[in-house]
Amino acid sequence: MRFFKKNFVTSSIVSADAIRTMFLHELRISFHKDVEHYSNFFDLVDQTNRMLSQTKDQAVDFDRLILERHGAIRLGKPEELNGMRKLFKVMGMYPVKYYNLTSAKIPAHATAFRPITENSLQENPFRIFTSLLRLDLIQDQEMVKFIKDILAKRTLFSDELMTLIEINEAQSGLTQSQAEDFAGEAMKCFRWKSDAVVSYEEYKKLYQIHPLIADVVSFKNAHINHLTPNTLAIDDVQALMQEKKMDRKAVVEGAPKRKVPILLRQTSFKAIEETVTFLSSNNERIPGTHRARFGEVEQRGIALTPKGMELYNAINESVRKKIIPNQDGSNANAYNEVLKNEFAKFPDDLNTLREDGLIYVKYFPTQKGKALTIIFESANINWLVENGYVGFTPIIYEDFLPISAAGIFGSNLNEAKNQLLNVGSDKDGFERSLGSNVIDPFELYEKAESESIEAVFKELKIPLYDTISPSM
């Protein structure tokens, strides 16, 4: 088992990126130690990446590849979400995109805290998918009161942690010593605690409403429920998991294997059964089990424009009308065949994707462009690319799958009883709990592309008034 090591800044104030990497290092150690299956899974992914690199003769930065991962937490009350926003800000992570999970029969909504600048993403792209329980979806008002009473007693953030968050705000960062203290205190919010705060009977009642509710309410903190390494070949990982007899997802979520990967593809081994203890009537501890933590792997592709996302979602909807993969894998081959056939509608050539305005890219002057001795009075980006003066490279998707393409919740939590109200999106309510607006990811990708066009035209000394971005 190998961990990324970084020489942190030794000046008075360390960067938010350095604090994020410091925190991730602590988080890895804890998760590897607690979840044996994950440690084995991590090694399997790493071995797959290295074998592929040797076969394809690819130059790969394995330190960065190992860092390319995300985690996920589940919160129970608005104050916890608001506190997490402040905590993640110290690490240079901001809420991007609103995810309505009710369409997947999950009584929660979510955002992803992640870096938002190119430099920060290059330094360490770690992100945490953060969901908040929606009590308005629960019909049983007695259970709602019970849940509120339990959560009211829970405090995720220590006084020491809140003080460090305030210091970070006041001095625009933390010193090395303060950053180390912060990472240690922050980890207390996410560590697994196996002692439940409810009885087994209460746990069962929560579980019957929805397994996610039982996971959120029954324990003392917001434990990380999965970590996700990145891979260069997710299909190879999926096959090797089957060979190793891991209890894995039946299918890889997302688009099928393509020449040009888009958005995100992911798979996982299912949540493991872990020993926990429940409260008894005489305050003794009674042994039991709970499923919450698992290992996931991702393969990231190109960010899609709104036009590209619309096509992606339409294809997924078409797939779902024809077939839905069974959790036992009994129709996996049929599902993959339908998925492949439907995604044939999505272009699989990089330049076609760009010309059709389906993806985001960054532009740069080629050697031919840099050698220009004439000055164009006007030109657009497409013409410059077609004539070899400008090249382009894809912008990687840094967010999460649309719910229609992600079965990760259903694969790791048993199907819930039909005890939830059919209520849709509540972005406004989520943002009130968060204490800020969520960032539109399309704006981030559009900004990166537009800035690259401006830089190209500036370097080539071409007026900007006639520029045309394919994704605009």
Cβ proximity of 164 and 174 under 8 Å: yes
Domain limits, the chain: 16-303+399-439, 361-394+440-472
Quote the pLDDT of residue 10: 45
Quote the pLDDT of residue 33: 85
Going by C-alpha positions, the residue among 242, 280, 283, 249 that lies closest to residue 266 is 249
Distances (CA, A) of 292 to 84, 215, 237, 308, 450: 20, 7, 22, 34, 42
Quote the pLDDT of residue 400: 93
pLDDT digits (tens), the chain, 472 positions: 334 444 444 458 999 999 999 999 999 888 888 887 888 888 888 888 887 766 655 556 666 676 668 999 999 999 999 999 999 999 999 999 999 998 778 899 999 999 999 999 988 899 999 999 999 999 899 999 999 999 999 999 999 999 999 999 999 999 999 999 999 999 999 999 999 999 999 999 999 999 999 999 999 999 998 889 999 889 999 999 888 888 888 899 999 999 999 999 999 888 888 899 999 877 788 999 998 888 889 999 999 999 999 999 999 999 999 998 888 889 999 999 999 999 999 999 999 999 999 999 999 999 999 998 777 777 889 999 999 999 999 999 999 988 765 655 555 555 444 455 556 789 999 999 999 999 999 999 999 999 999 999 999 888 765 444 444 3
Quote the pLDDT of residue 450: 96
CA distance 460 to 98: 39
Quote the pLDDT of residue 102: 87
CA distance 446 to 304: 10
Cβ proximity of 3 and 28 under 8 Å: yes
CA distance 76 to 306: 32
The letter for the amino acid at 189 is C
Exposed, middle or buried by CB within 10 Å (0-12, 13-18, 19+), for 376? middle
Instruction: Give the DSSP letter of residue 268.
Output: E
CA distance 373 to 387: 15
Quote the pLDDT of residue 452: 96
CATH 1.10.760.10 fits 16-303+399-439, yes or no: no
Cβ proximity of 305 and 358 under 8 Å: yes
C-alpha triplet 308, 249, 212: angle, nearest 5°: 90
**Helix runs in 253-363, H state only:** 306-322, 332-342, 350-355
Q: CB atoms < 10 A from the CB of 227, how many?
A: 26
Distances (CA, A) of 422 to 107, 110, 141: 10, 17, 16
Going by C-alpha positions, the residue among 431, 455, 439 that lies closest to residue 93 is 439
Quote the pLDDT of residue 5: 40
Contact residues for 106 (Cβ-Cβ < 8 A; gap 6+): 131, 210, 212, 409
Quote the pLDDT of residue 73: 95
Instruction: Give the DSSP letter of residue 331.
Output: T
